[in-house]
Structure 1
Amino acid sequence: MPAGRPTIYVDADACPVKGEVVRVAERHGLPVVFVSNGGLRPARDPLIRHVVVPGKADAADDWIVENGEAGDIAVTADVLLVARLVTKGLHVLGPTGRTFTPETIGMDVAMRNLKQDLRESGQIKGYNAGFTARDRSAFLQALEIAVRRALQPQ
């Protein structure tokens, strides 16, 4: 992996934008690490690495937190993982292009917990909106912005 360049970490098990991550990373010459509990198809590109962690809960999250550094980029839909990464100084975005920041993460965690409580009490159904072409486009734009920010000298 190139020294001094940000790495893109992907919480890969259910990530719908792996291909988009690879495209943007290749354009900028950035390393990508896909972290999952199951096997993924290996890549021939030396800048792309696959890490398979044990099947225990949060093993992929823990690995990303332990290995990610301030200035790196992470892609995940897991708000609790986002909270851990934002506090470390990573640029974090969701697969729909949503960018998470230290200023917004408190509300994001609170909303996640509220929705979980409402689902558990039966007051709302547990369905997420389907992933759309608009989400994919928003993600590509957000990742490009995150990469440019990560590449700026600090």
Structure 2
Amino acid sequence: MFIYVDGDACPVKREIVEISSKYQLKVIIVLSICHLTKSDGFSEYVVVDHRNQSADMEIINRVKGGDIVITDDYGLASIVLMKRALCMSSRGMQYTADNMDLLLYKRHMNQKIMRAGGKVKGPSKRSSSENRLFVMNFENMLKKSLYNSQ
């Protein structure tokens, strides 16, 4: 099992690495050259070009069933789910077949409003409680996944 992180704007990379290292799971952070950061000494960094969707395509090409992907991109999450991998947002929400249609529909409607010149409300400012929720849900996902693979 690998942990893939859509790393360009992921605010919980440190938390992912801490928890994954506890379970000795490999973390692969995929990011564009524009977002390259100093290595954390544990994760593998995959650097892609700065073109739109390059990081997403790299993750799609690598991910396999049973892997875990952390992303806030609904489109990437829907493809990851089709490949039988698990997927979670950086805010701790697990993407599932049950919630994906609604999330994609909302994204479509927001894009439609913006193309027509309207404005849509963005996500709220990140809170420390969301970080705690992510840590709790991510660790629970890892435990369940590891338990089911044995």
Fold shared per TM-score above 0.5: yes
2:97 to 102, 105, 116: 102
Return the offset for 1:40: 1.9
User: 2:4 maps to which residue?
Assistant: 9
Alignment of 1:76-91 (within 5 A): 76-91=71-86
The residue aligned with 2:112 is 117
SS of structure 2 residue aligned to 1:153 = helix
Contact 1:69-1:90 within 8 A present in 2 as well: yes
CA distance in 2, matches of 1:55, 1:126: 26
1:135 aligns with 2:130: yes
1:152 aligns with 2:137: no
Decide which moves more: 116-125 or 63-72.
Answer: 116-125
Superposed displacement of residue 135, structure 1: 1.0
Aligned counterpart for 2:15 among listed residues 17, 20, 30: 20
Structure having the larger proportion of residues in helix: 2
Deviations 1:7-40 (A, max 9, x none): 1100000000000101110111100000000212
Aligned-pair identity in percent equals 24
The C-alpha deviation readout for 1:71-103, integer Å capped at 9, x for no partner, is 111000000000110111111000000100122
Cα distance in 1 for partners of 2:96, 2:123 equals: 22
What is the alpha-carbon distance in structure 2 between the residues aligned to residue 55 and residue 123 of structure 1?
Answer: 28
Among residues 31, 41, 44, which one is paired with 2:41 in the alignment?
A: 44
Q: Normalised by the size of structure 1, how large is the TM-score?
A: 0.89
| Contact 1:73/1:150 (<8 A) preserved | no
The one-letter code of the counterpart of 2:68 is I
Q: 1:148, CA displacement in angstroms?
A: 1.2
Superposition TM-score, scaled by structure 2 size: 0.92
Gaps of 5+ in 1: 1-5
Task: Give 1:133 shift.
Answer: 0.6
**Residues in 2 aligned to 1:104 and 1:126: alpha-carbon distance in whole angstroms:** 20
Q: Is the 8 A contact 2:110 2:120 kept in 1?
A: no
